[in-house]
Amino acid sequence: MKPLILATAFLSVFAFISCTGSSKKGQMEKYTPNTYEASRNKTNPKPKAGADTVLIQQMKFVPEVLYANIGDTITFINKDFVKHDVTEEKSRSWSSSVMNYGDTWRMVVSKSEDYFCSLHVVMKGKIITKQMAYENI
């Protein structure tokens, strides 16, 4: 008898949590569509919370300096009709490879990074982890 009551109580609490949970999620999605034009690209899943976008437009990474948390997903979108890439600057340790107009590429932040477009070497950008930014204050 007792276990049954407990189980029912547990279930209803769970149902309540998942209800509020999903309504919050719904709200968040209402905010995002304009921020992530990447949603056009159906092959990639939608970025999760803690994600940020860098637009490649008019031969610039926008924003040029992005502050992010370790573990955040950064989405790069090429809005130019010329090809670009996103490549680690010092030793080319990682690269998006060539991105055509409208292409998106995602990376997960593990540390601060200096990157550039290896096709237009004067186009540069930075990701600075917030942990790093605090240490420097």
Partner 1 sequence: MKTKNLTLSMLSILFTTFTINGLAQESTSLSDAQVAHVAVVANQIDIEYARIATKKSKNDEILNFAQTMIDDHTAVIEQASALVKKLKVTPQDNAVSQQLLKDAEKKKIELNKQSRKNFDKAYVDNEVAYHKAVIDAIEKLLIPETNNSELKGLLEAVLPALKTHLNHAISVQKQIGG
Q: Does 122 bind partner 1 (CB under 8 A)?
A: yes
Separation CA 59–CA 78 (nearest Å): 10
Q: Does 123 bind partner 1 (CB under 8 A)?
A: yes
Q: Does 19 bind partner 1 (CB under 8 A)?
A: no
Q: How far apart are CB 43 and partner 1 at their closest, in Å?
A: 23
Q: How far apart are CB 121 and partner 1 at their closest, in Å?
A: 6
Q: Judged by CB under 8 A, which stretch of 13-21, 31-39, 52-60, 64-72 contacts partner 1?
A: 52-60
Q: Does 121 bind partner 1 (CB under 8 A)?
A: yes
DSSP string, the chain: -HHHHHHHHHHHHHHHHHHHHHHHHHHHHHHSTTT-GGGG-TTSPPPPSSEEEEEEETTEEESSEEEE-TT-EEEEEE-SSS-B--EETTT---B---B-TT-EEEEE-SS-EEEE-SSSTT-EEEEEEHHHHHHH-
Q: Does 114 bind partner 1 (CB under 8 A)?
A: no
Q: Judged by CB under 8 A, which stretch of 3-11, 29-37, 40-48, 112-120 contacts partner 1?
A: 112-120
Query: Which residues of the chain form contacts with partner 1 (CB under 8 A)?
Result: 58-60, 80-83, 118-123
